A and B are shown apart, each in its own frame.
Chain A
Amino acid sequence: MRWAGRFYRTCLVLLPPELVRRHGDAMVALFEENLDRARRRRGWSGAGAVFVGALVDVARRALVERRVWARRNIKRTRTGGGEVMEGLVHGVWGAARALVRAPRFTFAAVATLALAIGATTAVFTVLDAVLLRPLPFPEPERVVHLAWDRNGRLLSHMPHFKVAYWREHTPALEAVTTHATVPVRLDDGGGEPESVRALAVDRGFFEVVGVRPALGRAPAASDYDPGAPSVVVLTHAFWVERFGGNAGVLGRTLPVGGEPFEIVGVLPDSFHFPYVQGRLDFVVPLGREADPQDEAENFPALARLAPGATVADAERDLARAWERFQNEHAEIVNGTDRGMKVASFRALYAADVGSTLWILFGAVGLVLLTACANVASLLLARATDRRTDVAVRVALGASRGRIVGGVLAESGLIALAAAAAGLGLAVVGVEALLSLNPQPLPRGEEVGLDARVVLFTVLVTGATALLFGLPAALPAATSDGSASLARGSRGASRRTRGRSLLLGAEAALSMVLLVAAGLLVATLVQLRTLDPGFDASDVVAFRPDGLPPEYAAPDALAGWERAIVEATLGAGAVTGAAWTSSLPLERGWNVPVAPEGRPDDVVGGTEWRAIGEGYLDAMDIELIQGRDFGPGDTRASEPVVLVNRAFAEHFFPGGALGERVEIGKYRGRVLDPSFDVAPARVVGVVGDQRDISLRSPARLTVFVPRTQVPEALHATGHLVVEASAVRDAAAAVGAAFERAAVGVDAPRPRPLGDVVAASLARERFHATLMFSFAAVGLVLTAFGIYAVVGYAVRQRRREIGIQMALGADRARVVRRFTLDGLRPVLVGLVVGGAAAVYLGRFLSHLLWGVTPGDPVTVGAVAGVLLAAAGVASWLPAREAAHASPVEALRAE
Chain B
Amino acid sequence: MKKPWFHILLSLASADRYGADIQEDVRRLSDGSVRLWPATLYGALDELVREGLIRELEPSEQPEALGGRERFYRATPEGRRALSAELERIEAVARLGRRRLGEAGPGTGGSGG
Binding site for B on A (CB under 8 A): 12, 15, 19, 22-23, 25-31, 33-34, 53-54, 57-58, 60-62, 64-65, 68
Contact = CB atoms under 8 A, between A and B. Distances in A.
B46 interface: yes
Q: Which of A15, A25, A30, A57 has the most CB of B within 10 A?
A: A30
A22 B46 contact: yes
Contact of A26 (B35, B42, B43, B47): B42
16 contacts: A19-B42, A22-B46, A23-B42, A23-B46, A26-B19, A26-B42, A27-B38, A30-B19, A30-B20, A30-B23, A30-B41, A31-B38, A34-B23, A53-B37, A58-B39, A61-B39
Interface of B: 18-20, 23, 35, 37-43, 45-47, 69-71
Given A25-B69, A30-B23, A33-B20, A15 B47 contact: no
The residue among B23, B38, B42, B69 with the most chain A CB atoms within 10 A of its own CB is B38
A54 B37 contact: yes
B37 A57 contact: yes
Contacts of B18: 26
A799 to B, nearest CB: 54
B39 A57 contact: yes
Contacts of A58: 39
B60 to A, nearest CB: 20
Contacts of A65: 43
A64 B42 CA distance: 13
A64 B43 CA distance: 9
A132 B104 CA distance: 71
A19 B43 contact: yes
Nearest to A37: B24
Contact of A27 (B35, B42, B69, B70): B42
B20 A15 contact: no
Nearest to B42: A23
A53 B35 CA distance: 10
B47 A27 contact: no
A12 B39 CA distance: 9
B37 A68 contact: no
Interface centre among B23, B46, B69 (most CB of A within 10 A): B46
A489 to B, nearest CB: 44
Given A25-B69, A26-B71, A61 B40 contact: yes
Contacts of B45: 23
Contacts of B19: 23, 26-27, 30
Contacts of A53: 35, 37
Contact of B40 (A12, A28, A29, A60): A60
B16 to A, nearest CB: 16
Contacts of B39: 12, 15, 27, 54, 57-58, 60-62
A57 B47 contact: no
A68 B39 CA distance: 15
B46 A61 contact: no
Given A26-B19, A29-B20, A30-B19, A57 B70 contact: no
Contacts of B69: 25-26
Contacts of B23: 30, 34
A859 to B, nearest CB: 64
B59 to A, nearest CB: 15
Contacts of B38: 26-28, 30-31, 34, 54, 57
A12 B20 CA distance: 18
A28 B19 CA distance: 12
Given A29-B20, A34-B23, A64-B43, 18 more contacts: A15-B43, A23-B19, A27-B39, A27-B42, A28-B38, A30-B19, A30-B23, A30-B38, A30-B41, A33-B20, A54-B37, A54-B38, A57-B37, A57-B39, A60-B39, A61-B39, A62-B39, A68-B47
Nearest to B20: A30
Contacts of B70: 26
Nearest to B49: A22
A288 B16 CA distance: 86
A19 B37 CA distance: 15
A320 B19 CA distance: 74
A614 to B, nearest CB: 89
A295 B35 CA distance: 76
A30 B19 CA distance: 8
A33 B21 CA distance: 12
B36 to A, nearest CB: 9
Nearest to B37: A57
A786 B18 CA distance: 63
Contacts of A22: 42, 46
B66 to A, nearest CB: 13
Contacts of B41: 30
Nearest to A22: B46
A135 to B, nearest CB: 45
A15 to B, nearest CB: 7
A30 B23 CA distance: 9
Nearest to A59: B39
Nearest to B35: A53
A71 to B, nearest CB: 11
Given A57-B38, A61-B39, A19 B46 contact: yes
Nearest to A57: B37
A215 to B, nearest CB: 46
A57 B40 contact: yes
A136 B66 CA distance: 56
A403 B8 CA distance: 36
A28 B38 CA distance: 8
Nearest to B23: A30
A15 B41 CA distance: 13
Contacts of B20: 26, 29-30, 33
A29 B42 CA distance: 12
Contacts of B40: 57, 60-61
Given A30-B23, A30-B38, A54-B38, A61 B43 contact: yes
B63 to A, nearest CB: 16
B25 to A, nearest CB: 13
A23 B19 CA distance: 9
Nearest to A62: B39
A27 B38 CA distance: 5
B30 to A, nearest CB: 16
Contacts of A34: 23, 38
A407 to B, nearest CB: 26
A23 B69 CA distance: 10
B83 to A, nearest CB: 21
A37 to B, nearest CB: 10
B113 to A, nearest CB: 42
Residue among B23, B35, B39, B42 with most chain A CB within 10 A: B39
Nearest to B71: A26
Contacts of A64: 43
Contacts of A28: 38
A81 B39 CA distance: 21
A335 to B, nearest CB: 78
B35 to A, nearest CB: 8
Closest 7 CB pairs of A and B: A57-B37, A61-B39, A23-B42, A27-B38, A30-B38, A58-B39, A57-B39
Pick the most buried of A19, A23, A60, A65: most chain B CB atoms within 10 A of its CB. Answer: A23
A54 B23 CA distance: 13
B54 to A, nearest CB: 14
A31 B19 CA distance: 11
B38 to A, nearest CB: 4
A66 to B, nearest CB: 12
B108 to A, nearest CB: 42
Contacts of B35: 53
A27 B70 CA distance: 11
Nearest to A23: B42
A22 B70 CA distance: 11
A64 B20 CA distance: 21
A19 B71 CA distance: 13
B73 to A, nearest CB: 12
Contacts of A19: 42-43, 46
A61 B44 CA distance: 9
A53 B39 CA distance: 11
